[in-house]
Structure 1
């Protein structure tokens, strides 16, 4: 467990109501189109849309969690509203030319989207991560509901009332939502034992003998399958992103990184061929780089000539007080680490990409976070969920429906080793079922860089005017 945080160390900027409003509206404006010019503010103001201020002194202190939320029904969904000082009153009051939101949806959206709870919590797991068990998502059981998107939907209703302009979720070249399919490449030289057990379990003695012969003559291991993974996703209509580990040395604490080396001409040429066929190559920051910008930069540069614009940290490591600044200093265009390892869903309770909050400067960072929604290891692991193969898609479907509803991005991580047919729990069959569902629902498949290009064209400043 990490040492307790202190206001002096971690809280150089007071997060005022104006800062919260600016950060929230920046993301609201990115989520909908068209957004008319409507004055929005806390009471008392002359704004057309007013919001009841309910946060009090919470954001001037360092408590990780506010009081328990009040649960309200909105658009058929039971939604937790934090900073709700009028739990018995109506949520939205509409009068001619005016709208009043009677709970502080701005403070609540800022609290979840900024990651305030983990920034000011001292709880960490053995990998230095903020654990799902310590989260408000776990405490109040809403991890698979994009609560911030529902807060935005309340704000949307208020703006539509005063402006007369209907707002629609921003689409992906006409598609209702997007899907970001990715693969963390941790191991290329493993899988012999898994494949052998599979052959014996199915009484395939001929296959077992061929496997032994392959290993004896030095053929590639079953998990040395990057081209196979690329072909599998391409057949399903999805360009994918490979996150490549830049270090094959164990971390100082003994945690393994890659079992392959990126600094060989043969491997770099292999990455080049994959990239030429439409696969995006990104950085899988090795263990420890989540707080080491210099090492992360070196690993990104080590992937050249494949131009890696994105990153996801090994073991989903993320130290809230340091990692966003590390990523900014490393110069990434996007990151895709923020998901809970223990459960699928929405770590920041938001189903669209967002700009992490910079607590030191009181504004958004310049890199995009494409949050991770589901990882194969989460679905079946002794320490996480233990779903059977046939349970995977039914378990994920309600979350995916929410993403589609709000025009979000379904971010999927499926490790290359889980494309082994020996895996019948979170393996190639479950991956295929998931992608077929996304395709049937009309998802636009995008790489991380393509998502950045659509949301931030030509490097346009993402901050609100």
Structure 2
């Protein structure tokens, strides 16, 4: 329906609720007070980062140089890889950049290093090995589990949860997001409910920005089998960096990104919702001129100019609870 009628960037459910709100106010003669976020802000922003890669910035330019027969350039890339930190090993930079806007980062780490059964890659790092440096880099930032491909079942997910819990000295991750936004409606919410995560932030589109559930606020998904809501809060994903300039997705020019997103932001602000942004750490690399640090800065400047409340997942759960 969203595709057929072209309303993926319009939170239709919020418009219906607004009609209901007006009717209730008319009947009762009492105004319904809108929700307020931190410091009295009318809407909120949830800034997140999926940590898929830490050591692969050199690979694409090295492969390109090798294919084109530029052996000297290939040798330089290889030497740089062997002797200097990778450009994507930048978690401290990510945390500091986001903090400079008065915002908070939530980092979703991939516990699985091995590729999925179909060969699709998971993390390019082993979490247990990199964790001491990663933990120091992100400080007190919120963490979540970025569930690997090939992990739709309870046992596998439970194992990934235990890995991260062990590294954090028993501190449970509040939230979860599935790698590649994989979501099986008949299975995934049941698994999440049994694991007692406070929130999930998977439900968004890779192909387009907007509202996968036509709603701009967090909500408790409904369990049609049990006839009641699930216990975890869904914080929908509104925009992912890869969506904006990827060969399979929108291919927006850098100067087109903020104007394209502004109408969606205005809809979220209108209804006092939460704007969830996913910007991978690899796209804080200055070499990315399409969905890189400059485009992220434009988005953050806009959000800050609109007096948004920057919140993390735990704070959203407390506000919605």
TM-score scaled to structure 1, two decimals?
0.63
- Cα contact 1:283–1:311 (8 A) shared by 2: yes
Tell me what 2:132 maps to: 269
Say yes or no: does 1:357 pair with 2:197.
no
- Cα contact 1:281–1:307 (8 A) shared by 2: no
Tell me what 2:70 maps to: none
Separation (CA, whole Å) in 2 of partners of 1:221 and 1:292? 33
- Cα contact 1:247–1:261 (8 A) shared by 2: yes
Greater relative contact order: 1 or 2 (C-alpha under 8 angstroms, separation 6 or more)?
Answer: 2
Tell me what 2:289 maps to: 424
Separation (CA, whole Å) in 2 of partners of 1:194 and 1:443? 37
- Cα contact 1:183–1:243 (8 A) shared by 2: yes
- Cα contact 2:196–2:231 (8 A) shared by 1: no
Say yes or no: does 1:177 pair with 2:43.
yes
**Can you list the C-alpha shifts for 1:187-215, whole angstroms capped at 9, x where unaligned?**
111111557799xxxxxxxxx99866542
Tell me what 2:157 maps to: 296
| Displacement after TM superposition at 1:439 (Å) | 0.6
Separation (CA, whole Å) in 2 of partners of 1:197 and 1:419? 21
Separation (CA, whole Å) in 2 of partners of 1:251 and 1:210? 31
Q: After superposition, where does 1:23-422 map in structure 2 within 5 Å?
A: 136-173=1-38, 174-193=40-59, 214-217=80-83, 219-264=84-129, 267-274=130-137, 277-289=139-151, 291-304=152-165, 305=168, 307-422=172-287
**Equivalent residue of 2:314, what SS?**
helix
**Can you list the C-alpha shifts for 1:394-436, whole angstroms capped at 9, x where unaligned?**
0000000000000000000011111111111111101010011
**Can you list the C-alpha shifts for 1:328-351, whole angstroms capped at 9, x where unaligned?**
122211000000111000000000
**Can you list the C-alpha shifts for 1:75-113, whole angstroms capped at 9, x where unaligned?**
xxxxxxxxxxxxxxxxxxxxxxxxxxxxxxxxxxxxxxx
Separation (CA, whole Å) in 1 of partners of 2:60 and 2:309? 34
Separation (CA, whole Å) in 2 of partners of 1:215 and 1:253? 28
| Displacement after TM superposition at 1:321 (Å) | 1.1
Structure with a larger share of its residues in helix: 2
Tell me what 1:11 maps to: none
Shift in alpha-carbon separation, 1:197–1:299, aligned structure 2, 3 A: closer
Shift in alpha-carbon separation, 1:417–1:147, aligned structure 2, 3 A: same
**Can you list the C-alpha shifts for 1:234-275, whole angstroms capped at 9, x where unaligned?**
1122111010001001111111111111123xx232343245
Tell me what 1:89 maps to: none
Unaligned runs of 5+ in 1: 1-135, 199-207, 457-465
Tell me what 2:68 maps to: none
**Can you list the C-alpha shifts for 1:214-234, whole angstroms capped at 9, x where unaligned?**
4242x3211111111111111
Say yes or no: does 1:453 pair with 2:318.
yes
Number of residue-to-residue matches in the alignment: 308
Q: After superposition, where does 1:433-444 map in structure 2 within 5 Å?
A: 433-444=298-309
Unaligned runs of 5+ in 2: 65-73
**Can you list the C-alpha shifts for 1:135-181, whole angstroms capped at 9, x where unaligned?**
x1111100000000000000000110111111132110310100000
**Can you list the C-alpha shifts for 1:318-368, whole angstroms capped at 9, x where unaligned?**
011111001112221100000011100000000000001112101110100
Shift in alpha-carbon separation, 1:197–1:293, aligned structure 2, 3 A: closer
- Cα contact 2:198–2:317 (8 A) shared by 1: yes
Task: Please say which structure displays the higher CA radius of gyration.
Answer: 1
